[in-house]
Amino acid sequence: MRRILVLGVVLIWTLVQVGPVLAEGCAEGSVVHVVQPGENLFRIALRYGVTVNALAAANGSSNANRIYVGQRLIIPSGSSGSSGSGSGVHIVQRGENLYRIALRYGLTTQAVAAANGIANPNHIYVGQRLLIPGRGSSPAPAPQPAPTGQTYTVRRGDTLSSIALRFGVSTWALAQVNGIRNPSLIYVGQVLQIPGGASPAPSPAPSPAPTSGRWIDVNLSTQRLTAYVGSTPVRSTLVSTGLPATPTPTGRFSIYVKYVSTTMSGPGYYLTNVPYTMYFYRGYGLHGTYWHSNFGRPMSHGCINLPTSEAQWFFNWASVGTLVNIHY
């Protein structure tokens, strides 16, 4: 009797195991994923580069929130929803943020966040798989500026942004040509190649320019902000202004309020402790930036992003009422 009971248990176990195997064989060309503790359908869909809807449909699931540990899920060979059509997958690397990833694929931060159900674009993690809407899985490599043969040896107190400013190039271009993945990590004695297009000195004051007093000029074409006293430039820095979908307004404005630290939020972003903010028109302002260092390239939702050290200098230099002239 005991032997029959054991044989019965073995037979039942065999049938349970055969069921998923036969199901796997029926979905020709598909992959089967076994659900692990802590996983959900959204994370599994991201891992395989498909949509949650496509994954749920392939497994006959009407409720995407109900999966269980040990469940065998058939992974469809392609996404069935239009939102995933032509999509690729990007795996987040150390030092990356959503702004930089979106820029790499020629997309807006909002588009990438929406495709991945991200409510706060500041919360992504190394190893996370992001669906890239409307793109292949392998983007074209970012072009690197050609070296000029000119070099600079890093000295004590230098930062990559201050060196870039000295030679009139963007921090991003300087980092790219030297293979620097983290712009905050440079060392004394390091020899840096200066990319082509380096130019010293800020341009003469645009016309018509105020003949006296302090004012700020923002050139959207060159991504450069310059402080003037009358027609004399006194300080200049590369900045990041609005992306095409969220442009920086042009015209003449005046700083109407200043905050040492403030919170900024809008569609697709929520940023706390934004340093040295000076608002000049509605919700548009000049401010320090801790979430990227790609100065010299449009990156923002319309505000003017400065390196934090530069933002502090301009914050102390300018007063409420200071003219801000923005143009191409």
User: What pLDDT is attached to residue 182?
Assistant: 67
Distance from C-alpha of 25 to C-alpha of 6, rounded to nearest angstrom: 29
Range(s) within the chain of domains with CATH label 2.40.440.10: 214-327
CATH of domain 147-195: 3.10.350.10
The CATH class for the domain spanning 214-327 reads mainly beta
Q: Where are the beta strands (DSSP E) in 64-211?
A: 72-75, 88-91, 129-132, 147-153, 191-195
Convert the pLDDT of each residue in 20-32 to its tens digit.
Answer: 333 333 334 457 7
CB 104 within 8 A of CB 139: yes
Check whether domain 86-132 has CATH 1.10.357.10, yes or no:
no
In the beta sheet, which residues pair with residue 129?
91
Q: What is the 3-state secondary structure (H, E, C) of 173-193?
A: HHHHHCCCCCCCCCCCCCEEE
Q: Report how far residue 19's alpha carbon sits from residue 13's, in angstroms, rounded to the nearest whole number.
A: 10
Answer for the pair 86, 135: CB distance below 8 angstroms, yes or no.
Answer: yes
pLDDT range class, residue 193, cuts 50, 70, 90: confident
Pairing of strands 304-307, 284-289: parallel
Helices (H) and strands (E) in the chain — how many of each? Answer: 8, 15
274-325: per-residue pLDDT in tens? 999 999 998 899 999 999 988 998 989 899 999 999 999 999 999 999 999 9
The beta strands (E) that lie in 1-94 are given as: 31-34, 72-75, 88-91
Q: Where in the chain is the domain with CATH 3.10.350.10?
A: 86-132, 147-195
Stated as kind and residue range, the H or E segment containing 327 is strand 323-327
Cα angle vertex 257, ends 256, 262, to 5°? Answer: 145
Q: Average pLDDT, stretch 114-118?
A: 76
Q: Model confidence over 43-99: pLDDT tens digits? A: 777 677 677 777 787 887 777 677 888 888 887 764 333 333 345 788 888 777 877
Q: Are 65 and 42 in contact (CB under 8 A)?
A: no
The pTM assigned to this predicted structure is 0.42
- CA–CA separation, 42 vs 40, rounded Å? 5
